[in-house]
Amino acid sequence: MKNNVIAGALIALGILFGGFYIYLGINKFANKDRAVSVKGLSTREVEADYAVWPLSYAWSGNDLPALYAQLETVTERVKKHLLSLGFEESDIRQGSVSVSNNWDGYYGARPEYKYTLSTSLIVSTDKVQLVVASQGKESSLLKEGIIVTTEKWNLDYQFNGLPELKPAMIEEATQNARAVAQKFADDAHCSLGSIRRANQGQFSIESDQYQPWVKRVRVVTTVDYFLD
């Protein structure tokens, strides 16, 4: 009789605990989709740390060998101008030389000069502020009849320090996302649970419209949190 009572009690306890765990499982299943998806933003304003500045120029004439010699003289003069601004020889390299025959396709009056040679000197440097300060200082060259042009879209200010910024920005964006999720949970009168899913997002670097050497770095993270 006593054994039967004990056995019955054990069975009852087994049913009780079994029912409790079944309840937990059902409750977990029922609440598995109770989640909130939020976004966290982190931004930084930085200055470019490298610049590529091409200066293009051309010279025209009728005698090709003599024209090439003249272009070399012009190149040396443009280089001297850049050195006087504070750049170093190692910052400057010459681009390729292209030749145009201005008489091709003409059957009537031809242009005065048959050939035009075009080339460029390219400044590649980490002296970004020197590049900024040097814009528009070609007056000494103009006085010698040397026209140097820089297309706006060819002047490239670069920022290469993103790897150093990433960890802190991701942390900040994640913290911002959690703060938004916590506010949502408080308003919904529930508890904020663990992370269900997270997406770091893509980093973007945009240039200021009026100061292209100023860069805005931005990342948006998306984080899903469980709500308990």
Task: Per residue of the chain (228 residues), give pLDDT as tens.
Answer: 544 545 444 444 444 444 434 434 444 444 456 888 999 999 999 999 999 999 999 999 999 999 999 999 999 999 999 999 999 999 999 999 999 999 987 777 888 999 999 999 999 999 999 999 999 898 889 998 999 998 777 899 999 999 999 999 999 999 999 999 999 889 888 899 888 888 888 999 999 989 999 999 999 999 999 988
The pLDDT of residue 82: 97
What distance in Å separates the CA atoms of residue 54 and residue 148, rounded to the nearest whole number? 10
Question: Is 9 in the same domain as 75?
Answer: no
Look at phi and psi of residue 182 and say left if phi exceeds 0, alpha if psi is from -120 to 50, else beta.
Answer: alpha
The pLDDT of residue 33: 63
The pLDDT of residue 46: 97
Question: Is 68 in the same domain as 147?
Answer: yes
The first and second tokens of residue 132, run together, are 């900024």
Question: Is 81 in the same domain as 169?
Answer: no
What distance in Å separates the CA atoms of residue 64 and residue 41, rounded to the nearest whole number? 59
The pLDDT of residue 107: 75
Strand, coil or helix: 211:
coil
Question: Is 116 in the same domain as 68?
Answer: yes
Prediction pTM value: 0.76
Domain count, the chain: 3
Question: Is 15 in the same domain as 56?
Answer: no
Per the structure, the complete domain to which residue 154 belongs is given by: 50-158
Question: Is 145 in the same domain as 86?
Answer: yes
Question: Is 179 in the same domain as 149?
Answer: no
Look at phi and psi of residue 73 and say left if phi exceeds 0, alpha if psi is from -120 to 50, else beta.
Answer: alpha
160 contact partners, CB below 8 Å, separation of at least 6: 49, 50
What distance in Å separates the CA atoms of residue 54 and residue 49, rounded to the nearest whole number? 17
Question: Is 181 in the same domain as 192?
Answer: yes
Domain end call among 115, 133, 158: 158
CATH number of the domain residue 184 falls in: 3.30.110.170
Closest CA to 50 of 144, 129, 168: 129
Question: Is 170 in the same domain as 152?
Answer: no
Question: Is 145 in the same domain as 223?
Answer: no
The pLDDT of residue 113: 93
The pLDDT of residue 32: 54
CATH number of the domain residue 94 falls in: 3.30.70.2970
